[in-house]
Structure 1
């Protein structure tokens, strides 16, 4: 079979570095050729289980040129090689894998792509090398499934757990497998960044629904059940908008209800009053999702958007939540509610919370105060996160945050007369703003399309290069994937399209938010004179 080769010598025998080999490794982009050479010599000396048989070492010798060439095409060849070494060190044997690589050289590119371009996937693959079977058999290229299907699948995998710790570990294994599946499909261009965001959000929703009963059961062992108590989890931000990426936190609210808010206590050996009961239950759920176990962690949890912020109780009583939103919440807190979705919990309370949120969003507002508040909040964020890097797609002016602020502003401004425009997904908001002639239809469709483009690019960048946004470091594979996501031919065309898109978004933001807000401020200043 034809294997990708390299120009130059590659000699890994003996105990010393071969100078020509180090030069070849350097030409391939490895910055620490000596470390690479020493590791490969260790493989050939059978220092790991995967290379202890003569046949395994023979196959590995033949594979090395293609393997190193594949790593040379990644963001950081040294990092890709190090992750591959971790992966190889966890294998019980290597002949079968090396034989498959020999028979199907294209698999080397897939593995290198994972090791070099998707750090979270590489880490999970190193922990669980059997996942490669799913890559080889095509299992990871099957559809992920709906929320209900995912929840059912997770619950089934949790039923075999021996105890609560096993439940947490099983949930992490299942989640990381699904994230691996989504990541592989995104890397291979089988799904878009929008599809990946929806799938990742569905996996998170399945986790909240699947784990909550186990958390409640474990909590009730000490504190008993709460008579008549109800509890829900509300998703905000990217979870609410089904726009999660591979590094997204879960923005959540916890809301509860009892029959007598000030009097009820739980019926357990260590009884708790209502507010304390659900505050501690919420904390247990946060811990179940965020704690680091031998199988890693699931998600970072951000509950700072609750009424009165981080200084307030973790869980909100529903009547207090409704009163706060009606009387005390700032406009920016209502902006966050435009992306709210009830994710898990008691159906009756879930229905009531939906009504409360909807009623907040459709109430009439002081539109002058609203547009000024939106502009002020964006300026505050800009002071902390300002950037001129066009690849920092959230915070750059003309990026996702500007689009989200326009969409949220118009929902709060116009939903009192056109409630149909309310949607958790930003692109859908723009579609509806155009459909109902709230703003210019052509501009609305342009912003919807811009939102989808930025989300597609953001999903790929978060998966491949993480938070780094130095385009000079983007390898050929990432550049090609970005071009495919943008539906253009070259990386230069992606960059040109992105610059033009961000310029148009900046103009839209100026027209719809900045200029009206500035006009109001100027008028107020004139009145003071």
Structure 2
């Protein structure tokens, strides 16, 4: 059929088992499974890795070199989308992959299918009508905007794709062979829209690609299929309603000219994101929900997972209501994805940890069930099936014992979501004329004043997790000890609502005991805490944000507790999230504020001021990155790029301060810094190269060694403004036995005659990060020659070194209380790095694979055909998960340990921050994380062995 590598002949046993298993869980898939057994074979042998838009393009586009054959395009699109959706269903069922991951895969699949269908439609229209041309002679841009679940990358197995279709301007004409055509731009793009839609949804013997829904366009079903930017602006400005604002929250350029899409969304931004805060929006959203529920008609709304009480739409509206209320003032909240937006709302203090957990866990539980219903019935439905047998089968596929247990859990989830949505509206407040008994907060404060620990403990257990109450008791008593403290009597008289706000914020933190402990540490350092007490009293949102940070991250929380200026940054942050350029600028600004340091005659004072400036910049950028990381504003790669740029800037300023501008020495980064991959607690792997420049080499080397030693002292010396960097110089030439500083001639000579294979492998990461840039470039060239041109060592030697590291250095335990080593353990980060580096050395004469960055190198190796796509996917997914886990462990626990251990304190919180949830088929969030870790590292190890062509030990 020409749509990818397939296994022909009899089905393999695992493919037969997969087919039977899928049909057992999803009876509606039976006809498809039996009619296209080659798809099942493909799925059984295609690996378990996730796919993204790039992967889909790589698989699909080579089959569609000729878009002029519309019949062929439609057939291949339908077969490809059917097979990939079947693969996604199998992956979700078999591997326990959660629904947000598979929904993202489905959305990326839809994007690529829409992209192909649009390209075919544009090619057809150009040939038939001519080329749409603006007044300046350039081609008009056309963009497909994904809406709803497609816009949020949350597509269901049975979803329509909600689309808006826009082109840039009506000012222009259609030109064919240099002649103006009697076709307007609007007519041209209308025909494109009609053909695009037909390619996607017209049924053929191969089915359809995707159903298309265009009813969200301006004027709905009565409006034109396509609109120019100016017409869209006029419509929304004059007639736009609240439901359209809510719909545009999830608008995302999906296909076509993405720059035009971004231009359109930027133009519509003032309509969607209003500066004024209007809490009544929540009531309007609730009214919209009731109207949508009325459309169910006579059906029992409780069986509708989407529109029923406490259903999917209610969870989405909870998030979108808060986005619309606050997103005009806080652009961070403008995410199209529900779970990502919820994370940002939590990190910015607009929802509590408890609210985020209940909405997030409930939303995903409903989406999981919705997916299984649609896969099992083969219908575009959101209703629970009436058939008890089918419902029981779905329940068991989700890890429940049967339908009764599923429905009981569903009722619990819906009640929580319904209560949270009600809390946003004026209807969520109950009224009563009965005299009120003392509230729990009033009783708690009385017990605090009396320091009655028994009564206080009883009150805490009403608001907090009882397991944590004994530790909380001590910290709350400390916060109330001073009259002017945050829970002290004087503060409560001045700010009557502060105590309840603060206690609720602590109760809702991810780790209430840690939050209370760090809050106590923060206020204990102050001689007069009244300034911060007042700040918290006047900013309840800031109070929740501070308690949330203290409870979510020991690493960031402890830094903030010890440095009040970081709390100022947290409470009153208006600066954008740091990026690599911003990190470098932060160091530059702090050093510039010192003025002319050379005028300071006291050398010790001069050094003290300089180091203080570096430390302040380091902790400020690290805090910004960490907060953005917790909020989901930065992914792991962007975090590491920014932190690496920070280290580079600190190194550059240190070299300049120590050695002056006229220096013939280059600082070479290795390891994670060389690959711009350092995390919050990474060491800096460095060595130094100098150029004697005609001087006596011995004297020049002595001077260079003294300079390098001064640089290292400044980088690592303790300082009151924060810690420096831990340094590692073991990757210098000759390792621990080698010189810290070498001349460029000695470096070149060593690499040519003495360097061991592992040293050449390490040089893949070599990057000049400070000092003389010309000399640094020369060193990089020598390193590239050594690493790439001489080829790879024997795979058996690489594997022998890897296994020795695992045996002698990894701290894994796979019996008793299991412990995994993310870096050195089986299937860990080093497996990925060794796989990629071995292939880079093997194919190093191809300059396309020469990169210090592991992910970039892996992508290049895959694009060049030097690694199987399935193995590349396993390595890429493993690398991303393990790096994210490494970073998350650091930011949450403040530990640089590479281990995750079964039953360890904080594992549940870490698992939740990694996106794992309680109640899935794999059990608790912690169990799900460990199961995911095992699955991914097994796939990484299998890919590593395949890449090196060696047998497992």
Distance 1:394 1:9, change over 3 A: farther
Deviates more, 1:132-141 or 1:293-302: 132-141
Kept in 2, the 8 Å contact 1:420–1:432? The answer is: yes
Which residue in the other structure is 2:846 paired with?
A: 418
Deviations 1:172-218 (A, max 9, x none): 0111011000000001111111111111111101101122111225x
Kept in 2, the 8 Å contact 1:28–1:69? The answer is: no
Distance 1:516 1:500, change over 3 A: closer
Kept in 2, the 8 Å contact 1:431–1:445? The answer is: no
Which residue in the other structure is 1:480 paired with?
A: 912
2:810 is the counterpart of 1:371 = no
Which residue in the other structure is 1:184 paired with?
A: 627
Distance 1:100 1:297, change over 3 A: closer
CA positional deviation for 1:9: 5.3
Within 5 Å, give how 1:428-443 maps onto structure 2. 428-443=856-871
- Of 475, 480, 496, the match for 1:36: 475
- Of 617, 639, 644, the match for 1:174: 617
Alignment partners' CA distance in 2, 1:453 and 1:2: 27
Which residue in the other structure is 2:33 paired with?
A: none
Partner of 1:234, secondary structure, is strand
Within 5 Å, give how 1:421-500 maps onto structure 2. 421-465=849-893, 466=895, 467=897, 469-470=900-901, 472=903, 473-474=905-906, 478-483=910-915, 491=925, 495-500=930-935
How many positions carry a matched residue from both structures? 492
Distance 1:461 1:33, change over 3 A: closer
Kept in 2, the 8 Å contact 1:375–1:514? The answer is: no
Which residue in the other structure is 1:525 paired with?
A: none
Which residue in the other structure is 1:120 paired with?
A: 555
- Structure possessing the higher relative contact order (Cα contacts under 8 Å, 6 or more residues apart): 1
2:718 is the counterpart of 1:292 = yes
2:662 is the counterpart of 1:237 = no
Kept in 2, the 8 Å contact 1:91–1:129? The answer is: no
Within 5 Å, give how 1:224-303 maps onto structure 2. 230-260=664-694, 262=696, 273-303=699-729
Alignment partners' CA distance in 2, 1:6 and 1:298: 46
Deviations 1:58-113 (A, max 9, x none): 55433343143135x31xx4443222112123446555644554565443443233
- Of 746, 752, 755, the match for 1:326: 752
- TM-score normalized with structure 1 length: 0.83
Which residue in the other structure is 2:648 paired with?
A: 205
Kept in 2, the 8 Å contact 1:90–1:129? The answer is: no
Which residue in the other structure is 1:65 paired with?
A: 503
Let me know the Cα RMSD of the aligned residues: 3.4
Partner of 1:232, secondary structure, is strand
Stretches of structure 2 that go unaligned for 5 or more consecutive residues are: 1-349, 355-438, 601-605
Alignment partners' CA distance in 1, 2:495 and 2:478: 13
- Of 813, 826, 830, the match for 1:401: 830
Alignment partners' CA distance in 1, 2:441 and 2:448: 19
Distance 1:30 1:339, change over 3 A: farther
Alignment partners' CA distance in 2, 1:29 and 1:361: 54
Alignment partners' CA distance in 1, 2:537 and 2:624: 24
Partner of 2:657, secondary structure, is helix
Distance 1:440 1:476, change over 3 A: closer
Which residue in the other structure is 1:351 paired with?
A: 777
CA positional deviation for 1:506: 1.0
Partner of 1:343, secondary structure, is strand
Distance 1:315 1:426, change over 3 A: same
CA positional deviation for 1:420: 1.8
Kept in 2, the 8 Å contact 1:193–1:460? The answer is: no
Partner of 2:950, secondary structure, is helix
Structure 1 runs, 4 residues or longer, greater than 6 Å off: 1-8, 47-52
Alignment partners' CA distance in 2, 1:114 and 1:70: 11
Partner of 2:914, secondary structure, is helix
Bigger Rg, structure 1 or 2: 2
